[in-house]
A and B are shown apart, each in its own frame.
Chain A
Amino acid sequence: MGNIVVSPHDKEGQHHMMATPTSNNPNGGSAATAKNKSEITVLLLGAGESGKSTLFKQVQFFHGVGITHDQERIELIEIVRLNVLENAKNLVAATQHLNIPIEQPENRETAKLIINSLNTNDLEDPSWSKRLYSLWKDAGIQKAYENREKFQLYDSTEYLFENLDRICSDKYVPTVVDVIRTRTKTIGITDMKFDVGDGKQLRLVDVGGQRNERRKWIHFFNTVDAVVFLTSLSEFDLNLYEDNGYWRVKESLRVFNEVVNNALFYKVPFVLLFNKRDLFEKKIATKSFSKYFSGFNEAEEKNPVACIEYMTKLFLNEITEHPLDTVSVKTLSAIDHDNSKQVFEEVKQFIMTQQHRE
C-alpha cells in the first residue's frame, strides 16, 4: 500500500476520503445488493475492551430502548456492584503481586473481607461505602492504581469508587451513566434495530472481542452491509486480558488487518473508530507514548493530535485490499453521551451515503 498521507483528526470530525476508487471489484461483497434491502446490517468489531458494547449501549439509549427504563436499570444493580467487587479484588490482588503493602490496618481488614467473603448483597449496607472508599484512598492501593498497566483493571474503576455513596445503599438505582460505565465482557452476539428513514431499518450487531469470540465473527460476515471497527487509543501501554504478555496494540492491528482485508468486505463501507480519546489524553499527560513506538518523534508525545495521527497511519498501513475511498476514520469517547451521539450520527450518514453510491 506504500505511504498513505493522511490528516488523521480534523476538528470537524469529518471522515477521511482516500483516493483510488475501485468500483469494479469482481469479488464484490454483500453491499452490492444492499441498495434495495430494507435492512442495513452494521457490525461492531474490534479486540476486547475497545468499547463496542459501550457504543452499543449509547445507541440503545439514543433510541429509547434498554437502559432508559427504571425497571431495566434496577435489574442491573447487581452487575454494577459485581463491577465494584471485581475492581476492588483486582486492586487488592495487584498490591500482592506488585509487593506494595496496603498501609492502614483497617484497610487491610477490608481487603481480607473483599478477597474472602464480600458479596454484592453486602453492598446494600452504607457502611461499605466508607470502608471501600477508605481502601481506595489507601496509599498502597493508590500506588498500585498508578501502576495499573502492569495488571488487568477496568477503565471504570475510579468512577465506581468515587460513586460508592450512591451504590452502597438499599435505595440504589443505577443511573444511565452507571450502566454506560459498567464493564461487561460480551459473549456471543447481540443486536438491535431502529428506523433510519426511507423505510429502512439499521440493524446494529455487537459482538465479543476476545480471541475465542472472534472465531464466531465469520458466521455473519457475508450478511454485513457496513463495518465499524473500534480500537482503544489508551491501550498503548497495556497487555491482553486473554494473554497477559501480548501487547494490545499489536493485537488490534492484527485483527484490523484480518477484518479490513477480508474479501467479503471489499465493497462494504468501513469505519475505523479510535475510541477512549478522553482516557488517552489523560494518559499521555503522565505517561510516555513514544516509549512504545520507536518510529514516533518523542518531542511530539504530549500532543494528542500528533499521537492520533501516528496511530492512524499505523492502522491505515495495514490496509492492502480494501478500497480507501470507502474507509472513514474518526475519534470517539464512547462514555461521553453527546460525543457518541454525534460520532454515531456521522457514521450512519457515511454508511448511508456509501449505500446510495452503489
Chain B
Amino acid sequence: MRQDKTTFNPDNYCLVYEEVMTCQETRNIFKEFLKENMAEEPLLYLDECEKYKVEYAKLKEKFHGLSLMVKRSSSVGNVSDLGNETSGKEWDKNQLTKLFVNLKGIIDEFIVEEATKELNLSSVRQWTIMEWQIIEAMMNGFEQDSSNLELSNNLYRKLDINVLFEKVDLVVMIDLKMDQFPRFIRSNLARKFLLEKGEHFT
C-alpha cells in the first residue's frame, strides 16, 4: 500500500495481492467480492487448505512428542527426518485416518470432476487425482496394518498438501491474481473499504 498525498483518496492507494490475502479483514472483503462474481471457490479452497495444514502440523508434533517449530508453509524437507528416531513409536491410527478423511473432503469438494465447488484446473486435475489414488491405496494398506511404521511414515508424508496440491495452488494463485484480483481492486467494495479504513490501514 502506498500513499501519494496527505489527504486520503482511495485512488492513490494500490492493494497488493499478497497483502490482501494475508490480512484476514481484506481477505474477507475479497471473498465477498468473489462471491458476488461467482468465483469464490478458489478462496474457499485456500481456506480449507490452511485449516488442513494446521491439523497436519499438529499431528507431527504429537507424534514426535515434542513441539517442533513447524512453519505454516512447511515443505517436504521437514518431514523427511521421520523414520530413524521413531522406532518403537506408532502413529495414532485414528488421527492419521482423520487427516486422510479431511483431505478426502477437500478432494471431493474442489478437485474431482463435477465437484460442488470444482476448481478450474486443467490437466492438473487429472494429475492430482492420480496422486490422490496412490494415497488412497496407501490408506487401504494402513488400515490393514497400522503398526507398519514405514508405511505409516510414507502415508503421513504423502498427506502433505504442500506437495500434493503444489500444482493446484499455482493454478489457483494465477487465476485469482490475474483474473479476479485486478477487478477487485477497482471495485466499489475495495474502494469503500479503503475509504472507511483511510490512512490507518497499512
Contacts and interface: CB of A to CB of B under 8 A. Distances in A.
B182 A79 contact: yes
B182 A188 contact: no
B187 to A, nearest CB: 10
Contacts of A76: 182
B164 interface: no
Contacts of B40: 188
B122 interface: yes
Given A75-B185, A212-B120, A188 B14 contact: no
A186 B185 CA distance: 16
A187 B121 contact: no
B120 A185 contact: yes
A244 interface: yes
Contacts of B37: 188-190
A208 B186 contact: no
Interface in B148-202: 174-180, 182-183, 185-186
A187 B39 contact: yes
Nearest to A242: B122
B183 A190 contact: yes
Nearest to A209: B120
A210 interface: yes
Contact of B120 (A75, A152, A189, A208): A208
A190 B186 CA distance: 12
B123 A152 contact: yes
Nearest to A75: B182
Contacts of A185: 120, 175, 178-179
Contacts of A210: 120
A53 to B, nearest CB: 9
Contacts of B186: 72
Interface residues of A, number: 26
A187 B123 contact: no
Nearest to B172: A187
B152 to A, nearest CB: 32
Interface in A198-253: 208, 210-213, 215-216, 219, 241-242, 244
B180 A187 contact: yes
Nearest to A220: B38
Contacts of A142: none
A210 B176 CA distance: 16
A261 interface: no
B186 to A, nearest CB: 7
B39 A82 contact: no
B53 interface: no
Nearest to A48: B120
A30 interface: no
A208 B177 CA distance: 15
B55 to A, nearest CB: 27
A238 B75 CA distance: 37
A184 interface: yes
Which interface residue of B118, B178, B183 has the most chain A CB atoms within 10 A?
Answer: B178
Given A185-B175, A188-B39, A211-B113, 10 more contacts: A78-B177, A152-B122, A152-B123, A187-B42, A187-B175, A187-B179, A188-B38, A208-B39, A208-B120, A242-B121
22 contacts: A75-B182, A75-B185, A78-B177, A79-B177, A82-B177, A152-B122, A152-B123, A185-B120, A185-B175, A185-B178, A186-B179, A187-B120, A187-B179, A187-B180, A189-B37, A189-B38, A190-B183, A212-B120, A213-B120, A216-B38, A241-B122, A242-B125
- Top 5 nearest A-B pairs (CB, nearest first) are A188-B39, A212-B118, A188-B38, A188-B37, A187-B39
